[in-house]
A and B are shown apart, each in its own frame.
Chain A
Amino acid sequence: MAEPRAYGLLAEFDTPEALLDAARRAREDGYRDLDAFTPFPVHGLAEVLDIRDTRVLWLGLAGGVFGFALALLMQVGANWSYPLDVGGRPVYALSAFAVIAFELTVLFAALFPAIGMLALNGLPRLNYPVFAASHFHLASRDRFFLCVRAGDARFDPEQTAQYLGRIGARTVELVPA
């Protein structure tokens, strides 16, 4: 289809409940390319919008494994490349190496998902079309926004706007691309 001239439509709601309700109905009525903007994570919103993404958690696991392996390699490697008798302890004193292994496991298990989260979210990105919306600054205060992106098959500036009004949007605004 043709390139959309608009980013989408932004519908403003007063309460999370209203938002959830509207989102649910929009889904039922066949809208797919939806997004929502809320001041705090609204319980159940993801399910309603059918967003599933567990990659962050997998990144955590990957980070842990990486850190653990790195730590063991580092310590065993150091003692392999320059073995020294230290207080009669074994050269490969795994019990002693466990501490740093644990620390690095935690370190990378924390860094990977944190950075991954930003990357997957496409952040940092200082400007974004929705910021142009006149009420959008309230999205971080006490308003809850449902967004129908222009990419949606059923998207039509006028009709969708009216539809959103019907399902209880307090205001509806067209967000330019």
Chain B
Amino acid sequence: MTQRSAPFDLAAIRHRLTQGGSRQWSSVEELTDDDEFRRWVEAEFPAAATILAGTGRRTFLKLMGASLMMAGLAGCGEGRSDAALPYVNQPENAPPGIARHFATAVTFEGYAQPVLATVYNGRPTKLDGNPEHPAARGASDAFMQAALLQLYDPMRSKTPLQKGQPTTWAAIESMVNTARAQWTAQGGMGLRFVVGDITSPTIIRQLRTLISALPEARIHRFEPVGCANRQTAMQLAFGRVAEPVYALEQCEAIVSLDDDLLGPGPWQVWHAQGWAKRRGEMKPGEGRARVHVAECVPGLTGVVATTRLAADPPRITLLAGAIAARLGVMQGQSATLSDAEHQWVTRAAEDLDAHRGRSLFSVGAHAPARVQAVACAVNEKLGNVGRTVRYREPMAALEGGSLADLARDMQAGAVTTVIVLDCNPAYAAPAELRFAEALGRVPTTLHAGLYADETAAACGWHVPLSHALESWGDARAVDGSATILQPVIGRLYQSRTVPEVLAMLSGAVGPDAQALVRETWAGTFGDDFDGRWRQALHDGIVQEEQPAPLSLSARVPDIATEPAPAEGIDIVFRPDPCVWDGRFSDVAWLQELPKPLTKITWDCPVAISPQLADTLKVGNGDFVELAAGPGKIAGPVWVMPGQAANTAAVFLGYGRAVHRNLSHGLGYAASALRGADDPWHVKGTIRRVDGHRSFATSQLHHRMEGFDFVKEVTASRPTTPPPKPQPTLYPEKSPEGYGWAMSIDLDRCIGCNACIAACNIENNVLVVGRDQVAMGREMLWLRVDRYYSGDIENPRSYFQPVPCMHCEMAPCEMGCPVNATTHSPEGLNQQIYNRCIGTRTCSSYCPYKVRRFNWFDYRKIDPATDAAHNPDVTVRSRGVMEKCTYCVQRIEAARAAADKENRDIRPGEVTTACQQACPTQAISFGNMNNGDEEVSKRRRSGRHYVLLEEVGTRPRTTYLARWNDDPGGEGA
């Protein structure tokens, strides 16, 4: 599937496009070149949006469509952006309708997420993990998948702004020129940069050059989630900055103190792949893969944990101390632990001790620095360093002050110019810094971002940044390897890349983005530049020798051993699993992605423990007010089973203030409570207030009600009960030809949503909006069911992905009066959209309720995704039933390829989108009539079972039971 092409092809295509495009759009161009028209375009939409902000999500989303159209026009100002329009002159070397794949990367918190972009006619339609990149190995997460939709997001910033009014790059440049004269005069005095975590060698190079030219200028780093705390911890432990990298594939025992290793974030794919590898080796009996988790807010790691303990933040410190003491890292700890805690610590410590060098003690990046430092010492003592954990120079290498310093200086009036690069402190900064207000005191303020966000509003000037998929650039992935970003589509709007902006600041005129990156790598690539450059672009990874891991020895800091006098409740802050710190909050489609544990869409709750809910007498949706110091927020409650008793969790990424944007009016702004020195935990109070908001969730009921949809096996009972013979009156299927089947290993599933994300984009699954989800009309073809068992205070949780079962005896097919759903000879349960008349009998008869119906014409709702649609998949119209097809378009593509070469489809040649995305290979797909294929092996496995076997539908999608390596333990 990875037919690649070197970038110059792309350039060639673009060249032709420009010509073709410009002819086609000449009349519009005349318009769009004219500033009046641009202002009109810009002015037109926000007005409309503000009027509509009040109305229903559907209408709102629908009208957003207008902006995409406008944007299309405005974008035409720059010739290259016509690449997003259909061909007029077809280039010889780009047959239309044939997908081309380009290796590049998107960035997330500065880290590169290596992708392979599928491009049809100059329009990217799908991102997948770059299979040849060690940090992706083909896998992806929801954010990587959604980056594509962010590219096409109609709410992106389209033109430079001056005080919120559209202006031109020319105006910006002249402003910068005057300003620069002043900077040089004062050696950069009063010039400040605000940046997020940056791993891009080019940007780092440019900034360093700038600083060396203007020695008085300062850089301030602000990453709302990031790992600032961890750097402090490293300082504490090693007296220098360092970045730990875990090799979970080596870990037979992991003890995680509030560290959601498998949870969302830049490291998710890396960790999940490692863990899954170990887990896979464990099952045949090679060692163990135990995970002991103590956490205050339930995370994905807690779901797969062998033993799980719910612990309030202060207890985390004590637990760390206790474990360190048991392992002899600290002396004579006498923490007062509860029985449960004591038991957990014992087991965790024993496991660590028993697997020296094959274990890992990890503490969350948001935990107090001292506690993290202790973890470093423990790992060193256990001899894990160099095996399961190694230290390296931080990828985000840029040295700089904190945002607090900047705020202080701004208040003091010591700042003349602030340049904010690709981050949004005005929204995300802790309220106590009063950053936006302070920014107002600064004479010259420039914001460069993908969106005209809160910071843009607070700044005098704003310039739109290009999306990674439109840009030349570079970045480093979590494994340290660099990727060169190449544009896979022309710029949609009048945007520039960060390097271009920096070049502009340093006075370059009409900088060429590609040249800036080439300049960075000239040194590394040396003589054979073009060859290695091309190779790097082609592979999506730069071949260079990695620096040796740092060899450090940890000092053991002393940490609290007695519980701090606890008054009030513990308020902890967590990034939202779907919109992170808010950088994705305008991607309608991520808003609609159900959050892994709560299944909430389009909203963010205040998650509280069942105990708190009980004392407050509140239920899901009731409003509570959290107060800490001066800050207050009010939000609807979600009672989170398994959350630590005294903890309330507040999520970042909501309460956005930009009126015209989709995210406006959703949720609360957590920054109101966040503190500058400890942004992750505050003591506060909670009280019930009036108000109720019912959440739009994709799953209403979370207990298994005594059924065993998710089966478990244990060491003592390693197989599921043998299948009962299912008598039938119908003719038996003959196992000839291909028999497509899917097997889902529940032991590997971490509920990360990557499969849903990939499925939605591959199959053009449409966004329906909050009120439709609330009515139970979400469109997900593949849902991840979440179940609880056991007591609500520390339940055992399960994930179960449920796509179409492709039953051999499909009740749905029998129900359809028009043959719109029938069975293929290869075992696919086919849905023929253009034959469907919408009787919905199939869905009524479906025991698994995996079918989805187009109650309205949902195509109109979110035009943002139109350009991203997969041309190989029909976009379903109103009144039509739809469902998982086993990615039949991919099967047919493989068949075509095989037929051309006159051979059979090879094992593993067909991968479904969900299977491809899954970082843990929980999903396998293939021809079950071929006994050697993975899926056939799984169907023979002892853990194999069929969901709702008693209904006698004979599904092709089957499951492998989850492995419970702690039966009867507190985790069971």
| A residues adjacent to B (C-beta < 8 A) | 84-90
Contacts and interface: CB of A to CB of B under 8 A. Distances in A.
B814 interface: yes
A85 to B, nearest CB: 4
B810 A90 contact: no
B747 interface: no
Given A86-B823, A88-B730, A90-B730, 12 more contacts: A85-B813, A86-B816, A86-B819, A86-B822, A87-B809, A87-B814, A87-B823, A88-B728, A88-B731, A88-B808, A88-B823, A89-B730
Interface of B: 728, 730-731, 733, 807-814, 816, 819, 822-825, 954
B824 A85 contact: yes
Could you say which of A84, A88, A90 has the most chain B C-beta atoms within 10 Å of its C-beta?
A: A88
B731 A90 contact: yes
A109 to B, nearest CB: 25
A163 B814 CA distance: 74
6 contacts: A84-B823, A85-B822, A86-B819, A88-B733, A88-B823, A89-B814
A80 to B, nearest CB: 14
B731 A84 contact: no
A87 B821 CA distance: 9
Contacts of B822: 84-86
B810 A88 contact: yes
Contacts of B811: 87
A93 to B, nearest CB: 9
Contacts of A85: 813, 822-825
Contacts of A89: 730, 814
Contacts of B809: 87-88
A89 B819 CA distance: 13
Contacts of A87: 807, 809-814, 823
A84 B809 CA distance: 13
A89 B816 CA distance: 13
Please classify the interface of chain A as helix (H, G, I), strand (E, B), loop, or mixed, using the class held by over half of its residues: loop
Contacts of A88: 728, 730-731, 733, 808-810, 823, 954
Contacts of B813: 85-87
B237 to A, nearest CB: 63
A38 to B, nearest CB: 49
B808 A84 contact: no
A86 B824 CA distance: 9
A153 to B, nearest CB: 64
Could you say which of A85, A86, A87 has the most chain B C-beta atoms within 10 Å of its C-beta?
A: A87
A83 to B, nearest CB: 10
A68 B359 CA distance: 76
A88 B827 CA distance: 10
A60 to B, nearest CB: 30
B954 to A, nearest CB: 8
Contacts of A90: 730-731
A82 to B, nearest CB: 8
A86 B811 CA distance: 9
Nearest to A85: B823
Could you say which of B728, B810, B954 has the most chain A C-beta atoms within 10 Å of its C-beta?
A: B810
Contacts of B954: 88
Nearest to B824: A85
Contacts of B733: 88
Nearest to B827: A85
A19 B816 CA distance: 61
In order of increasing CB-CB distance, the 9 nearest A-B pairs are A87-B813, A85-B823, A87-B814, A88-B809, A87-B810, A86-B813, A84-B822, A88-B730, A88-B808
Nearest to A91: B731
Nearest to A96: B814
Nearest to B825: A85
Nearest to A78: B819
A125 B419 CA distance: 99
Contacts of B824: 85
A84 B816 CA distance: 12
B822 to A, nearest CB: 5
A87 B731 CA distance: 11
Contacts of A86: 813-814, 816, 819, 822-823
Contacts of B807: 87
Contacts of B825: 85
A85 B812 CA distance: 12
Nearest to B814: A87
B835 to A, nearest CB: 11
A88 B823 CA distance: 8
Contacts of B823: 84-88
Contacts of B728: 88
A170 B313 CA distance: 114
Nearest to B809: A88
Nearest to A82: B819
Could you say which of B807, B809, B823, B825 has the most chain A C-beta atoms within 10 Å of its C-beta?
A: B823
Contacts of A84: 819, 822-823
B76 to A, nearest CB: 49
